[in-house]
Amino acid sequence: MISENILITGASSGIGEALAIFYASNGAKTLFLCGRNEERLSIVADKCRLCGAVVEAKVLDVTDRQQTAEWVQACDKKAPLHLVFANAGVSTGAETCAHIYQTFDTNIFGVLNTITPAIEIFKKRKDNTQKIIAVTASVAGYHGLPACPSYSASKACVKAYGEALRESLKKDGIQVNVICPGFVRSRITDKNKCPMPFFMEADKAAAIIAHRIEKNVGLIAFPFAMRLAVYALSILPNCISGFIYGHLPHKV
């Protein structure tokens, strides 16, 4: 069953944009979308409205804890939320001090700033309506990757926290799904000059994510071949995984 009222952060491009359009095209009633780029966000919102959804779009930096909490709470008052996607994320690029902090602020604290107020709202709701949290991690979170240390570490944190929350919040009737995609078309991957095996278009990724959330899969990691590869690397002794990483193409 498609959720009716959905909140998505990082909705102005990539997976967030594709999710918004997918849900608007498949019966969602109200979409609350946020992003940092007003022009791109407005375009996405208009596409979703053409599909028949009611859309409220807000330019927001999810690293601002107070503003993000106030936005989540305001959205729920307008239309009780059923599904909250903490999807906003950034790549690190050069591992400079500023970029490292920005990566952790957005990819970790941006997630916390989004889902913490949502969880509080869901816990207070005693009816049987949908209460779903979805967080976007990455297959890069399976093991620390030397090509992107900050990014993989931030996604590992989100993956571990989401998996723990899934079990912790079951008693409250809250479903938690952790999304670990491989290479999916986005503004991040558009900048990559390194090989991207099993590359996937964003609309296909969004359909996979939405269908598996409906089934309450829990850990939504795809494509399977990529998931298998990173899992295998994660359980190898460091001396072996380090040797393999040393012979892989470096990210440019």
Kindly tell me the burial class for residue 187, based on how many C-beta atoms sit within 10 Å of its own C-beta (0-12, 13-18, 19 or more). Answer: middle
* Residue 161 known to be catalytic: no
List alpha helices for 199-237, DSSP H.
202-214, 224-235
- Edge-to-edge strands of the sheet including 54-59? 54-59, 30-35, 5-8, 83-86, 132-136, 175-181, 219-222
- Given 151, 161, 231, 245, which residue is catalytic? 151
C-beta of residue 159 within 8 angstroms of C-beta of residue 218? no
Angle at 199 between CA 195 and CA 205, to 5 degrees: 150
SS3 of 15, please? helix
- What is the distance between the alpha carbons of residues 50 and 238, in angstroms, rounded to a whole number? 51
- DSSP structure string for 104-163: HIIIIIHHHHHHHHHHHHHHH--SSS--EEEEE--GGGGS--TTSHHHHHHHHHHHHHHH
The set of catalytic residues is: 151
